[in-house]
Structure 1
Amino acid sequence: LPAEPKIFHGRDSELAEILELFSQGTPRIAILGAGGMGKTSLARTALHHTELTTKYQGNRFFIACDTASNKVELAGLIGAHLGMKPGKDMTQAVLLYFSDASPSLLILDNLETVWEPVESRKEIEEILSLLTDITNLALVITMRGAERPAKVQWTRPFLLPLQPLAQDAARKMFIDIADEGYSMEEMDQVLHLADNMPLSISLLAHLVDMEGCSEILSRWETERTSLISDGYDRKSNLELSISLSVSSPRMTSHSQDLLALLSMLPDGLSDVELKQSKFPIKDILGCKAALLRTALAYTDDLKRLKVLVPVREYMRTLSPPKDQMIRPLLTYFQELLELCVKFSGMESGTLLIARITSNYTNIQNVLRYGLQG
């Protein structure tokens, strides 16, 4: 089994929810969220929690699904962890093992790797369905995105997709990694760049520990996300982690265009703005749904579609928005400003001011782009 995470902050409520589901029986739980949000850490912490070690003892299995590309390979991975001899298709053997075993816990980590491709999705959902037919087998999966596989009766209440850490938890995580020698203000500046994503915090904090806060803040100005993308896997390379989501089969070219556009809009966009701006994006609300399903974007309390800072910086650097995407937005904001002047002092003018205020940073960025163009 993988070790229990030594640094774990800000997920107490999610852990409590998971343990509550286990206390009610044999659950089927999906831990969802964007890449780098700490899904694996949460699963590993639950795996080693006293309540679950007592309940399942030696019948706890943690399978990293990164290397599987179809049902047969996934069954083979599970079989290997169960100590079975390799076979052509281990599916039935795995099902028989768990059916005859004492109560067991199976965690399938990074299941999206094998589930996302359209050609393998149906068979993966079928094996998940068969696994959950086994009454004494608890199943936990971790998947990037906000979409649960079909054909499984997931235990309610569903665990919400993981969000960035609260500021206090983010600070604790940073302090656990980076040595002293920085001010609270400098630490918060670094955390702002990470947008409190656990993976980004971890990578940046390790750099701060080696080079100092001021040096890292200075390097970020020129290197952006490449600063924390020297690793060889999704857990040590931010750009690789983000690219796995961007290249997801759930993402169309139009969805990628929308993501690129949002990368220069820190204030995000409302549904009304998505439709009124007349972007050359086919089925723009469908593209919005794709961004939400892959957890590359989120909606804030005002229902505005936004992208976290690390994803914005990645897209702006490696896949910036095309000119034909920005021009309609430039026109839209110009018309909005003109209408605001025209109806100044009237009730409709007040509403227009509210719309402008909610796009303040967006307008600055778009106008700056227009001047540069």
Structure 2
Amino acid sequence: LPSEPKIFHGRESELSDVLELFSQGTPRIAILGAGGIGKTSLARAIVHHAEITVKYTQHRYFVACDAAANQVELAALIGAHLGLKCGKDLTQAVFQYFTTGPSSLLVLDNLETVWEPTECRGDIEEFLSLLADVQHLALVITMRGAERPSKVCWTHPFLGPLQPLKQSAAHQTFIDIAEDYHSPEDIVQVLSLTDNMPLAINLIAHLVDVEGCSSVLSRWEAERTSVISEGYDKKSNLDVSISLSLSSPRLKAVPHAQELLSLLSMLPDGLSDVELLQSKLPVKDIWHCKTTLIRTALAYLDDKKRLKTLLPIREYMRKTHPPRNELVKCLFKHFHELLELHKDFSGAEMISATVGQISSNLANIQSLL
């Protein structure tokens, strides 16, 4: 098993929800969310929790799916963890092992790497369905995105996609890594660059521990996400993590979704459905694009139902995939017309509605100026 996470803050509610599902039987749970949001850490915390350890003892298996290219290779990976003899296809052997064995917990981490390709998806879902047929096998998967594989009866209530950490948890995570002798103002400013995304907090806190807050803040002005992208894999390089999400077959299947994401990179306030409609953006299948960004967790809906993306993703997109001028001009024109409308009309209802829309887009307007 991988080690228990040593720094783990802000996921107490999700962990409690998962343990409640385990207390009621043998659950099938999908841990979803954006890359770098802490899915693997939560899974590691689950598998090492005292209640889970007592319930499953040594029959806890944690399989990183990154190395598998298809269902047969995934079965082989699981078989290796179970100590099965190598074979051409271990699918039935894995099923038989769990069927005849004691109550077990199987965690499939980063399952999206093998589930994403459309040519593999059906086989993977059939395999998951087969595993779910084992009544005493608890199944936990982690996946980038916001959708669960089909053909499995996932346990209710579903665990929602993981969100960025609350400020207090982000602060505690930071000082656990970089200590607390930095000024509170500097810590707040550094954390604001991460949008409380756990991976970004981890990377930037380690950098602050070496270079100090002032140096990191200065470097960010010049280098943006490159500051915390000096590692070689998705766990130590934020740009690599984000680029993996951008290479998702789900995203590539909707070519214009990346265009919408590039535009969102300019918009800290995001966009409402009304604004997506009124701005007449020249993005083909814009509603499908919106759905795709949410499904892949590259964007999310905030509590006001505005489509947004996290700051590290915005910065990466602005650096590597800036929006076309045509898109920016179109949105600029929309906001300009909105401001003109407010100036020209004095009716109370018109002013109220227009002021509300303008106030919801102040950071957007400033960003586009």
Q: TM-score, normalised by structure 1?
A: 0.97
Offset, 1:333: 1.1
The aligned residue for residue 289 of structure 1 is 291
Offset, 1:180: 4.1
Alignment partners' CA distance in 1, 2:211 and 2:284: 46
The aligned residue for residue 308 of structure 2 is 306
Alignment partners' CA distance in 1, 2:102 and 2:13: 29
The aligned residue for residue 161 of structure 2 is 161
The aligned residue for residue 200 of structure 1 is 200
Deviations 1:61-112 (A, max 9, x none): 0000011110001001000111112111110100000001100000000000
The aligned residue for residue 22 of structure 1 is 22
Alignment partners' CA distance in 2, 1:164 and 1:213: 22
Offset, 1:346: 3.3
Contact 1:344 1:350 in 2 (8 A): no
1:92 pairs with 2:92: yes
Alignment of 1:52-131 (within 5 A): 52-131=52-131
Deviations 1:202-233 (A, max 9, x none): 00000000000111011000110011111111
Alignment of 1:184-263 (within 5 A): 184-251=184-251, 252-263=254-265
Alignment partners' CA distance in 1, 2:6 and 2:304: 36
Structure 2 gaps of 5+ residues are none
Q: Choose 147-156 or 334-343, whichever is displaced more.
A: 334-343
* Matched letter for residue 56 of structure 2: Y
Q: Choose 262-271 or 338-347, whichever is displaced more.
A: 338-347
Alignment partners' CA distance in 1, 2:278 and 2:247: 28
Alignment partners' CA distance in 2, 1:24 and 1:347: 52
1:324 pairs with 2:353: no
Q: Choose 36-45 or 227-236, whichever is displaced more.
A: 227-236
1:277 is aligned, of 263, 276, 279, to 279
Contact 1:181 1:212 in 2 (8 A): no
Deviations 1:286-315 (A, max 9, x none): 111111111111111111111111000000
* Matched letter for residue 269 of structure 2: D
Alignment of 1:35-50 (within 5 A): 35-50=35-50
* Matched letter for residue 292 of structure 2: A
Deviations 1:295-353 (A, max 9, x none): 11111111111111100000001111011111211111111111111113532122111
Q: How many residues align?
A: 367
* Matched letter for residue 152 of structure 2: V
Report the 3-state secondary structure (helix = DSSP H, G, I; strand = E; otherwise coil) of the residue aligned with 1:62. strand
Contact 1:297 1:307 in 2 (8 A): yes
Contact 1:275 1:284 in 2 (8 A): no
Alignment partners' CA distance in 1, 2:181 and 2:221: 21
Q: TM-score, normalised by structure 2?
A: 0.98
Alignment partners' CA distance in 2, 1:172 and 1:331: 43
Offset, 1:33: 0.6
The aligned residue for residue 371 of structure 1 is none
The aligned residue for residue 173 of structure 1 is 173
Deviation beyond 4 Å, 4+ runs, structure 1: none
Alignment partners' CA distance in 2, 1:348 and 1:235: 49
The aligned residue for residue 365 of structure 2 is 363
Report the 3-state secondary structure (helix = DSSP H, G, I; strand = E; otherwise coil) of the residue aligned with 1:32. strand
Cα RMSD after superposing both structures: 0.9
1:354 is aligned, of 348, 353, 356, to 356
Q: Choose 116-125 or 326-335, whichever is displaced more.
A: 326-335
Deviations 1:96-131 (A, max 9, x none): 000011000000000000001111011000000000
Q: Choose 177-186 or 352-361, whichever is displaced more.
A: 177-186
* Matched letter for residue 237 of structure 1: N
